[in-house]
Structure 1
C-alpha cells in the first residue's frame, strides 16, 4: 500500500516512469479480469477521495 501511495504522490515528471505506470495499470486490469467500467469507477472514486486532502491533476 505504501508503494502505491508513493507512486501516486511523487512528482518526478519522467515520461518513462509514467509509461511504466500506465503499463502496470494495463497489466493489473488484464490479470484481474475486471470490467473496464469497474476500473473507471474505481479510478474516479480514488481521485475523489485523494482530492479531498490535496490538489491533484486529473
Structure 2
C-alpha cells in the first residue's frame, strides 16, 4: 500500500499558466525563453521566486 502524501495540495493545477505558456509557444518562444521570461518577469504571477523556478 502506498503511503499518503499531501505534497500536491500546495501545487494546484496550473490551467491558466499552461494556457499562457502555450500562447507563448505559438508566438515562437522556446522552452528556455519561456522559463527565462517566467523568472525575469514573473509572467505566471507566482508568490515566491522558488515557485517561479519550479516550472
Q: TM-score range by the shorter chain?
A: 0.3 to 0.5
| Rg larger in structure | 2
Structure showing the higher helix proportion among its residues: 1
Specify which structure has the bigger relative contact order, considering alpha-carbon pairs within 8 angstroms and separated by 6 or more residues.
2
TM-score (norm 2): 0.42
